[in-house]
Structure 1
Amino acid sequence: MASIKVMNMIHNQFDLNLVMVLDALIRERSTTRAAEQLGLGQSAVSHALGRLRRALDDPLFIKTAGGLKPTPRTEALTPAVLQMMEIVRNELHSQPRFDPARVERCFRFCMTDMGELVFLPPLMERLRREAPHCTLQTLQVPQARIAETLESGEADLAIGSLRAIPQGLFQQQLFTHPFVTIVATDAPVGERLTLAEFEAMDHVVVSLDGGRGSAYDKAIEELGVRRRIFLTTPHFLLIPPLLERQPNLVATVPRELGTVFARYKVVRVVEPPIGLPRFELRQHWHPRFHYDPANLWLRKLVKETFADYPE
């Protein structure tokens, strides 16, 4: 019955702080010591005690030579107040746990079709082994919407080489990767393109946001190389069938992707005629979930999965 009265007081007054003050007064039997325990001024504790007296229609404590003496009403409420505050303290100080072997949930990644082809398979293998009841979903989100997608919890992580890191996101480098050129298997070129061949062929570039191209395309242009960009597309997976049908087409892609494409025997990897800078692949997440146990575990899983990835 006493616990019901305390809960009704909280419901009616909408102020858990009053219960905290009552708990401190019960323990300390002094407004001065209660104020010190709570980190408040003595006047604030006295004011709260006044509100408690009005809310419960009882003096609650009587001043005596030995300190504050609880009234019968306070003594009746004491077990419920102490129990309630113990629950609150335990909940506030307990660390939520994430048990990947037991939990059932879907982890969602923002990644391109290239990420799905190259990076998703090793992540799936690791997840199946360590979190057998969890599932995966990939989302292809425009770069302008990545931050809000992560903030809303619609996605847990974004993995890729973002041209401009959305403001406010955390990031962690996974590895760096070089770029190679791919051509059709029957393209009339050798294992290394000459600059003249490179400039004479029609180029396919990938642009995820509809712009001219990616960061490595800009790097090529900054080297003074003249290219005829015949097709701009947001889809990496479109490249191999296009090159197979059009041997005069050429594309420059991350090496890992070129290696996967070459396994299907429709394209082959050749060395570009110019040196290209390496680019970083990172995972990104929103500060809202920086301390979330599930997100912490997932980031660790991703980092460890690619810890020994070939540079």
Structure 2
Amino acid sequence: MNSIHNAGLTSHLDLNLLPVFDTLIRVRNVSRAAEELDMSQSAVSHALKRLRSFFGDPLFLKTGSGMQPTPRALELLAPVSSVLATVRGELLVREGFDAASARRSFGLCLTDMGELIFLPRLIAQLRRAAPGCTLRTLQVPMHQIQAVLESGEADLALGSLHSVPEGLFQQQLFARSFVTIVNRSNRTIGEVLSRDQFFAMEHILVSLSGRIEDAYDAVIDEGNAQGNGSRRVYLTTPHFLTVPMIIEQNPDLIATVPRELATKFATYKSIRMVETPVRVPPFGIRQFWHPRFQHDAANMWLRKLVKETFDTDVE
């Protein structure tokens, strides 16, 4: 069996080494881990040496893309995270999180749209409230989000996630409506996009999973299925930020995107917004976290900061 207890951790291993392991497996870099832990690089290297000796495994291997965990390190991830979550969540929660003096890196699962919507304002708030903290963003496939949040590699996932894994906690931040973007050079579209034009033209859909049914605006097809309305999907992509450039070079394509993004895309000379001619219910932007970190002081503080930053965000 691979449990930490069977490895003799509780009776033989210095528990002060666990935060080093936890940080290294998240940031994959000794110098960044040292900065987050407020330790010297030599101290982190020495701790890693002790961990390697104890577990009889190199744990991390140097590669061109950073330090990659070995299979043994990945086996240890869940039990180490569990021990640390217990300590942080049940024993230290009363001490709270001192944002003004804290030095750590917060990880956020975000799409490219999420980075455009969330990051500028969140960075400003974080730098003001926690000047010693930094941010990391991760683009994670939908089926891996729960594991990434459970391991602590990311603290939160932000966005409008479809097919959210069961067991994650969530909180709505704000709601957004959709609007359609078209190429200005397409003269067949006037100031108003008709319903017939909408369903006759070819569409770009954004879906993290690559499946049409998981697209951000899939509700359009769901809501109009009984009204004999079915879109002609030409391209499905996981990236929002490439959509205006594709439409710029392909004037016959259109896309329906969140209004906030469309407003930014309309700064492209070739792109303009038109109201979507079918009913599209607003979609909610939420933050998600794993129950393991429900009472973690740092996670609680971050959730509160995110909520306060976007709570009054209305269209």
- Read off the aligned partner of 1:267 and give its amino acid letter: I
- Which residue, 224, 237, 260 being the options, matches 2:264? 260
Query: Does 2:283 correspond to 1:274?
Result: no
Is this contact kept in 2: 1:216–1:277, CA < 8 A? no
Partner of 1:142: 141
- What is the alpha-carbon distance in structure 2 between the residues aligned to residue 283 and residue 113 of structure 1? 16
- What is the alpha-carbon distance in structure 2 between the residues aligned to residue 121 and residue 264 of structure 1? 20
Partner of 2:19: none
List aligned pairs for 1:3-152, cutoff 5 A. 95-152=94-151
Q: Residues 202-261 of structure 1, C-alpha deviation per residue, up to 9 Å, x if partnerless?
A: 110011011114252243353132321111111111101111111111000111111121
Post-superposition shift, 1:289? 0.7
Post-superposition shift, 1:114? 0.4
TM-score (normalizing by structure 1)? 0.68
Deviates more, 1:104-113 or 1:214-223: 214-223
Post-superposition shift, 1:94? 7.5
Change (3 A) 1:238 1:93: closer
TM-score (normalizing by structure 2)? 0.67
- Read off the aligned partner of 2:165 and give its amino acid letter: P
Gaps of 5+ in 1: 1-10, 13-90
Aligned length: 224
Tell me the secondary structure at the aligned position of residue 272 of structure 2. Answer: strand
- Read off the aligned partner of 2:172 and give its amino acid letter: Q
Query: Does 2:308 correspond to 1:307?
Result: no
Is this contact kept in 2: 1:109–1:155, CA < 8 A? yes
Percent sequence identity over aligned pairs: 55
Post-superposition shift, 1:101? 1.3
Q: Residues 104-152 of structure 1, C-alpha deviation per residue, up to 9 Å, x if partnerless?
A: 1111100100001122111111111111111111101111111110000
Partner of 2:155: 156
Change (3 A) 1:222 1:92: closer
Query: Does 2:285 correspond to 1:286?
Result: no
CA RMSD of aligned residues (A): 2.1
- What is the alpha-carbon distance in structure 2 between the residues aligned to residue 272 and residue 217 of structure 1? 14
Is this contact kept in 1: 2:148–2:154, CA < 8 A? yes
Partner of 1:219: 220
Gaps of 5+ in 2: 1-10, 13-89
- What is the alpha-carbon distance in structure 2 between the residues aligned to residue 228 and residue 94 of structure 1? 52
Tell me the secondary structure at the aligned position of residue 236 of structure 1. Answer: coil
Tell me the secondary structure at the aligned position of residue 261 of structure 2. Answer: helix
Tell me the secondary structure at the aligned position of residue 182 of structure 1. Answer: strand
- What is the alpha-carbon distance in structure 1 between the residues aligned to residue 150 and residue 250 of structure 2? 43
